[in-house]
């Protein structure tokens, strides 16, 4: 990894070489124990586990977390993970775990994500109301749930949506509850709306059932890139950080975890704040950030981590092993197959504009809405129209030479951040 000034505390472990274990229902914690002697012979100093928290059913990667209070049952559960950690330590190896702070899964059925189910059932009365990057009061006709195979009018006419009662897993203490069912999808019902006719009932919920294609234009929650089933959480809120990290920090305090690999910190509202909090909560554990550095971009010096996970190092190693004499023949083949002689920069700009107008249209519209709101609130800015704001925002995104700039509200942006935005 790229070394930062924020090395782990002297009493904390610092890995020399890691080996990633992709844990799945077919390769569990117990299976991982069996490969430890081999990894030790390879010279691996630390095993690096893919996400270990409870993920959506059938997940083969673990990044679609549904429950921060449990270690994945399909991987073996907490005791099996602790046995893996104990075995690793007995072999002289440390344990690094992958942490997913940016988002949770929108699973099927929805009640598997207890926090999201609670918010969509109880609105502002939910204890999880601050968890997700949504504003229920401004979500108009509800948080968009684009799961329908046809337009909602057609689905209702065909009788494909029904009102039922069931004991919802995870909410057993509430007894039987009314739910909305659409094939394998199950949704909560807002209190005191269950007696309404079905169309009126749906119109009164904190969510909006919609045709799946609607998500391309109208999605009103922050997601992971263009993945509708991964909804962002507000880990910048202290209570969300504390609750979503409690189990991992407990395992760290118990000696079962030695370090943390942070997935996609660029998705967070304030990465600097996040790393500072995690550094403090672990008394200076070894922490690395999964981030792609563009060109001469450097990892922000105020991130309390020991560096990146190594994409930049891999790029340099790959470049070292690439024969430069192959550039000519490769370029000739590319021109012949693509039928274009446009420069890489021109093609890159075209590709960015294409993504903005297709995969990330909903995100662009959401950002435009925010800018329109800011300008409308200030008389001096009110003459900036929605169209011009959208065009300016699109042009800025296309021209940026890196993933994002790090701007903290009420703070003057750094010179690096300002240069990224001009």
Q: For the stretch 296-330, what's the b/e string if a residue is b when 16 or more beta carbons lie within 10 angstroms of its beta carbon?
A: eeebbebbbbbbbbeebeeeeeeeeeeeeeeeeee
pLDDT of 422 > 70? The answer is no
Rounded CA separation 177/119 (Å): 15
Site of tokens 């609670």: 118
Rounded CA separation 54/24 (Å): 11
Average pLDDT over residues 197-207: 95
pLDDT of 358 > 70? The answer is yes
pLDDT of 421 > 80? The answer is no
Instruction: Dump pLDDT digits (tens) for 370-403.
Output: 999 999 999 999 999 999 999 999 999 999 888 8
Site of tokens 């030479």: 401
Q: According to the model, what pLDDT value does residue 5 have?
A: 59
Average pLDDT over residues 29-37: 98
Q: According to the model, what pLDDT value does residue 142 have?
A: 85
For residue 53, what are the β-bridge partners?
71
| Strand 53-55, strand 65-71: pairing | antiparallel
Contact 229, 212 (CB under 8 A): no
Q: How confident is the model at residue 63 (pLDDT cuts 50, 70, 90)?
A: very high
Instruction: Dump pLDDT digits (tens) for 145-193.
Output: 999 999 999 999 999 999 999 999 999 999 999 999 999 999 999 999 9
Asked whether the CA dihedral 337, 341, 343, 346 is positive or negative, the reply is negative
* 219 compared with 112, residue with greater pLDDT: 112
Rounded CA separation 278/236 (Å): 11
Average pLDDT over residues 300-315: 90
Q: How confident is the model at residue 50 (pLDDT cuts 50, 70, 90)?
A: very high
- CA angle at 60 for the pair 57 and 66, rounded to the nearest 5°: 40
Rounded CA separation 113/169 (Å): 10
Average pLDDT over residues 102-116: 96
Q: Please give the biggest Cα pair distance in the chain.
A: 74
Of 214, 93, 98, nearest to 147 (Cα)? Answer: 214
Mean pLDDT of the chain: 93
Can you give the length of the chain in residues?
A: 422
Contact 266, 291 (CB under 8 A): yes
Exposed/middle/buried for 162, CB within 10 Å: 0-12, 13-18, 19+?
A: exposed
Q: CB count, 10 Å around CB of 401?
A: 11
* 225 compared with 299, residue with greater pLDDT: 299
The backbone torsions φ and ψ at residue 304, rounded to the nearest 5 degrees and listed phi first, read -80, 70
Q: How confident is the model at residue 2 (pLDDT cuts 50, 70, 90)?
A: very low
Average pLDDT over residues 205-220: 89
Average pLDDT over residues 57-64: 94
Rounded CA separation 35/281 (Å): 31
SS3 state of residue 225: coil
For residue 65, what are the β-bridge partners?
55
pLDDT of 224 > 90? The answer is no
Average pLDDT over residues 66-85: 98
Q: According to the model, what pLDDT value does residue 344 have?
A: 87
Question: What's the DSSP call for residue 101?
Answer: -
Q: According to the model, what pLDDT value does residue 3 have?
A: 44
Instruction: Dump pLDDT digits (tens) for 115-158.
Output: 999 999 999 999 999 999 877 765 567 888 999 999 999 999 99
Q: How confident is the model at residue 219 (pLDDT cuts 50, 70, 90)?
A: confident
SS3 state of residue 397: helix
């Amino acid at each position: 990894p790229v070394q930062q000034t924020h090395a782990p505390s002297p009493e904390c472990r610092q890995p020399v070489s890691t080996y990633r274990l992709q844990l799945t229902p077919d390769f569990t914690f117990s299976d991982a124990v069996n490969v430890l002697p081999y990894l030790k012979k390879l010279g691996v100093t630390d095993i690096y586990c893919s996400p270990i928290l409870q993920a959506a059913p059938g997940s083969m990667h673990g990044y679609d977390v549904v429950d921060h209070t449990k270690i994945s049952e399909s991987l073996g559960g907490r005791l099996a993970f602790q046995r893996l950690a104990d075995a690793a330590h007995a072999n002289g190896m440390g344990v690094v775990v992958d942490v997913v702070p940016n988002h949770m899964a929108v699973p099927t059925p929805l009640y598997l994500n207890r926090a999201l189910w609670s918010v969509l059932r109880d609105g502002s009365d939910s204890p999880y109301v601050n968890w997700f990057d949504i504003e229920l009061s401004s979500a108009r006709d509800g948080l968009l749930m684009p799961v329908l195979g046809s337009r909602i009018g057609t689905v209702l006419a065909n009788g494909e949506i029904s009102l039922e009662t069931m004991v919802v897993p995870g909410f057993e203490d509430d007894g039987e509850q009314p739910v909305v069912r659409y094939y394998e999808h199950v949704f909560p019902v807002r209190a005191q709306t269950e007696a309404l006719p079905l169309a009126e009932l749906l119109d009164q919920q904190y969510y909006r059932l919609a045709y799946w294609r609607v998500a391309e234009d109208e999605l009103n929650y922050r997601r992971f890139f263009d993945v509708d089933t991964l909804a962002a959480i507000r880990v910048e809120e202290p209570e969300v950080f504390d609750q979503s990290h409690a189990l991992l920090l407990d395992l760290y305090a118990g000696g079962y975890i030695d370090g943390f690999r942070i997935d996609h910190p660029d998705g967070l509202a304030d990465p600097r704040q996040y790393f500072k909090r995690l550094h403090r909560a672990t008394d200076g554990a070894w922490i690395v950030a999964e981030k792609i550095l563009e060109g001469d971009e450097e990892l922000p010096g105020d991130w309390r981590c020991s560096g990146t996970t190594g994409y930049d190092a891999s790029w340099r190693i790959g470049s070292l092993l690439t024969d430069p004499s192959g550039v000519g023949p490769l370029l000739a083949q590319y021109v012949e197959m693509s039928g274009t002689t446009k420069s890489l920069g021109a093609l890159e700009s075209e590709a960015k504009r294409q993504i903005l107008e297709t995969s990330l249209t909903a995100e662009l519209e959401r950002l435009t809405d925010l800018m329109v709101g800011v300008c409308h609130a200030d008389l001096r800015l009110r003459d900036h129209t929605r169209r011009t704001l959208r065009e300016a925002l699109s042009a800025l995104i296309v021209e940026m030479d890196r993933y994002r700039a790090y701007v903290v509200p009420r703070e003057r942006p750094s010179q690096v951040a300002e240069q990224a935005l001009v």
